[in-house]
């Protein structure tokens, strides 16, 4: 008989105690005759640590896409030459807001807006669709200068701009209270986008539709400036 088979021998009361404490018998060393597990062995075994909520949380799904920024960069250059400030970040955020407005969100997520991740904090941006991109740019810069942290603010999406480099993330955890997290990395005329989604709150199909609309708007940016 193998040693593991001997170890799994246990008294009925020991088995009952192990079930009540959610303990695996093969993790208990028996001190009875021939390694038999007795009640005292179970009582002297520490309970298994509870699984934390974070560890048991559902792992979000992730979707990646690329957007061609060649048209957008030419547009920004023309606008800049006319003396009007405009950045990739301005257009990315406006595209995210428009894309959210165009997809069908569950009632619990509708009209909750987005936050911008920056410097270890979140800034909630109020970006009504009827505001010009210039007004929204001014509001974003003012919010960033305020130093506030809107981590507890109501929002469905968080957006983060990452430094361009040789390595891009393929997955990022969602922030608490956010059903979506979007990360954008600009490299020349390409923008790499990663969208992570809580599929308990939003279907994968809806997330894909959001990402397609988002990248499509960046590639046809004139509609975003209206």
User: Which residues does residue 181 pair with via DSSP β-bridges, in sequence order?
Assistant: 158, 196
pLDDT of residue 166: 74
Tell me the C-alpha to C-alpha distance, in Å, between residue 84 and each of 78, 81, 92, 133, 137.
9, 7, 17, 11, 11
Measured distance CA(137)–CA(115) in Å, rounded: 14
Q: Which fold has domain 61-225?
A: Chloramphenicol Acetyltransferase (3.30.559)
Specify the DSSP element, H or E, that contains 35.
Answer: none
Same CATH topology for 12-44 and 61-225?
Answer: no
The per-residue pLDDT string of the chain (226 residues; one tens digit each, 9 = 90 and over) reads 444 444 468 888 888 888 888 888 887 888 887 778 888 888 887 655 544 444 445 678 999 999 999 999 999 999 999 998 889 999 999 999 999 989 988 888 888 889 999 988 999 987 776 677 878 888 889 888 988 899 998 899 999 998 877 778 888 999 999 999 999 998 788 999 999 999 999 999 999 999 999 999 999 998 887 6
pLDDT of residue 59: 77
**Distance linking the first and last C-alpha atoms of the chain:** 80
pLDDT of residue 204: 93
Specify the DSSP element, H or E, that contains 216.
Answer: helix 204-219
pLDDT of residue 8: 64
Q: Does domain 12-44 have CATH number 4.10.320?
A: yes
Rounded-to-10 torsion of CA 22, 26, 27, 31:
110
Measured distance CA(87)–CA(75) in Å, rounded: 10
The reply to whether the predicted model has a pTM over 0.75 is no
Q: Where are the domains of the chain?
A: 12-44, 61-225
- Classify residue 223 by its DSSP letter: G
């Amino acid at each position: 008989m193998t040693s593991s088979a001997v170890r799994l021998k246990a008294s009925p009361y020991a088995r009952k105690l192990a079930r009540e404490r959610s303990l695996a018998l093969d993790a208990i060393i028996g001190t009875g005759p021939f390694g038999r597990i007795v009640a005292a062995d179970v009582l002297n075994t520490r309970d298994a640590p509870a699984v934390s909520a974070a560890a048991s949380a559902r792992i979000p799904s992730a979707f990646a896409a690329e957007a061609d920024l060649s048209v957008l960069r030419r547009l920004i250059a023309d606008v800049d030459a006319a003396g009007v400030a405009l950045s990739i970040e301005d257009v990315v955020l406006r595209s995210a807001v428009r894309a959210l407005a165009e997809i069908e969100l569950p009632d619990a997520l509708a009209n909750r807006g987005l936050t911008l991740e920056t410097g270890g904090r979140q800034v909630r941006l109020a970006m009504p669709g009827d505001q010009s991109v210039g007004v929204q740019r001014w509001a974003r810069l003012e919010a960033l200068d305020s130093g506030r942290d809107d981590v507890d603010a109501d929002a469905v999406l968080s957006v983060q701009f990452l430094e361009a480099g040789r390595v891009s993330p393929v997955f990022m955890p969602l922030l608490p209270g956010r059903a979506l997290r979007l990360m954008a990395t600009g490299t020349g005329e390409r923008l790499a986008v990663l969208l992570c989604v809580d599929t308990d709150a939003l279907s994968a199909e809806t997330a894909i539709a959001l990402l397609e609309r988002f990248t499509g708007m960046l590639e046809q940016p004139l509609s975003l400036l209206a």
